[in-house]
Chain A
Amino acid sequence: MDSRYRPRPHILEEEVDDDLVLYDPSRESVTVLNTTAADIWRLCDGSLTLDEVVERLAAAYGTSAEQIRGDVARTVGRLVEEGLLEE
């Protein structure tokens, strides 16, 4: 949980209503993030560790870090797998 993640440099992003649309031109893939996933995406700017991301989100949502740690890690894992985030 000490890893830091950031968007891969070529990813384009635009907000559409409450969603965040991500476009990877190199893979011609489109990903739509809901509000929660978009919050995780925005915090993964390379400056925070995954633990710090979890703590920030927990504070923002008024819940405990333990409760959301698994979901946040899974979302980040999926974004890395899809080539949108890098360590």
Chain B
Amino acid sequence: MWAADRRYRLIDTPMRVAVESSELAARIGELLAPLSADRPARASNTFQVTGSEGGYRLYQSCIEVDRTETGEDLLVGLVARMNRRAVERSHTFAVHAGVVSFGDRTLAFPAPSGGGKTTLVAACLTRGATYLSDEALILDAELRAVPYPKPLALSDWSAAILGVDPWPGETLVTAAQLGADVAQRPAPLTDLLIPHRAPGAGLEPLPRSETAATLLRLSFNHYRDPRAAFGLATAAARRVRAWRLSYDDPGEAARLLAETFG
């Protein structure tokens, strides 16, 4: 019945996605390839997609959770639900942030949802950066950023400025489509860039304590083990350089970052 039945790992959660339509299975396979894994998933982390163009249904744990007319809309909903599930279940210290590497410098852009992380990350990928995540800085005990290379969901506006053919609503793209590589292993976090909307593009050093405060304020799971999260955030603050990244044009900001850190 299934054209594809694949296993993935998002942060530390194994997931399974089964798809009836061969066309959609191919697209999902391409988008989620960097997250492929071989560990079995629990039923509660299983997603099933039935139907074909004109009428798709998405099931999570065998319960219908979405209906869409187009495959692209179905995909946006599927990736969002998988991401939400992964984030809810994560036990590794995680912070709302985009993460890319330029050579041996690994940069994180902490910002809340809707704060422009994805567009900035995508712009960096078109300037030679390696992709780690547009969603979460997953920081392990050795202060390394663990790759979480989910597909990037670009808004119409972001797609237009990046030269990607926009789909009405949101467009999912892979790092490869933007010409970038995906990090294959954790990378030591070196710089934390706090985005600040202002004319032009500029970098200004910040006190290191700003790193600890920002990581804790934007963490989505520090409450699981507050003492460990505080220890990790302050340890990162001592090692990582903190900057205010002022910009109004993500492309200009990416150019500045590529010149400074590339």
Contacts and interface: CB of A to CB of B under 8 A. Distances in A.
B217 A21 contact: no
Contacts, number: 48
Contacts of B210: 32
Given A30-B216, A32-B209, A32-B210, A21 B223 contact: no
A21 B226 contact: no
A39 to B, nearest CB: 16
A47 to B, nearest CB: 25
Contacts of B209: 16-17, 19, 21, 32
Chain B interface residue bracket vs A: 10 to 19
Nearest to B222: A28
Interface in B192-220: 207-213, 216-217
Interface in A7-28: 12, 14, 16-19, 21, 23, 25, 28
B212 A30 contact: yes
Task: Pick from A12, A19, A21, A32 the residue with the most CB of B within 10 Å.
Answer: A21
Given A16-B238, A21-B237, A30 B226 contact: no
B209 to A, nearest CB: 4
A19 B206 CA distance: 12
Contacts of B207: 16-19, 32
Contacts of A18: 207
Contact of A17 (B208, B226, B227, B230): B208
